[in-house]
């Protein structure tokens, strides 16, 4: 059965082509990057319209980030179908583990020690890698310094 693609906008058509070319599907951020759409609201509205017409559906869920809340992200797939059920939220410890894995165990331990001492920031070789209220900055630089022995 052919999908009804009459009266689709150019971005909607391109999104549908991208999803058809990716059998595993794509997340909203991947689609947004490919389509070069800077506005989140525009992207959400477009995906909602495509889902409403039955042209795409949620094939699965994934975890893109290792942030504090670890929200699950929808993976959109071309074609009609039933949406995959949303997974249960990750617990606090699972989110912490993902976060520690992302920034590196050694840097995480150094920041915890600095917090216990009441430090407002952690500076490694003249580069601020952690600051109270702002979190980690220049993550790649910090990891490179750790590997090079900057915190040893």
> pTM to 2 decimals?
0.62
Q: Domain boundary at 21, 46, 78, which?
A: 78
Where does residue 121 fall: left (phi above 0), alpha (psi -120 to 50 degrees), or beta otherwise? beta
Looking at residues 47-65, what average pLDDT do you find? 89
CA pair distance 77, 62, nearest whole angstrom: 13
pLDDT tens-digit series, residues 3-38: 666 688 899 999 999 999 999 999 998 999 999 999
Please determine, for residue 148, whether its predicted confidence score (pLDDT) is greater than 60.
Answer: no
Position 47 scores a pLDDT of: 94
CATH number of domain containing 51: 1.10.10
Parent domain of 100: 92-147
Domain total of the chain = 2
Q: Are 61 and 110 in contact (CB under 8 A)?
A: no
Structure tokens at 18: 């991208």
Position 152 scores a pLDDT of: 46
Position 151 scores a pLDDT of: 54
């Amino acid at each position: 059965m052919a999908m009804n693609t009459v009266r689709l906008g150019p971005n909607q058509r391109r999104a549908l082509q991208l999803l058809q070319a990716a059998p595993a599907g794509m997340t909203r951020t991947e689609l947004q990057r490919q389509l070069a759409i800077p506005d989140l609201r525009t992207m959400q509205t477009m995906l909602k319209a495509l889902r409403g017409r039955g042209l795409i559906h949620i094939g699965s869920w994934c975890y893109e980030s290792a942030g504090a809340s670890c929200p699950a992200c929808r993976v959109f797939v071309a074609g009609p179908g039933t949406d995959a059920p949303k997974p249960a939220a990750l617990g606090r410890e699972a989110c912490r583990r993902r976060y520690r894995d992302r920034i590196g165990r050694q840097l995480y331990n150094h920041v915890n020690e600095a917090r216990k001492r009441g430090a407002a920031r952690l500076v490694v070789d003249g580069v601020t890698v952690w600051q109270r209220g702002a979190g980690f900055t220049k993550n790649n630089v910090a990891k490179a310094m750790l590997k090079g022995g900057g915190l040893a």
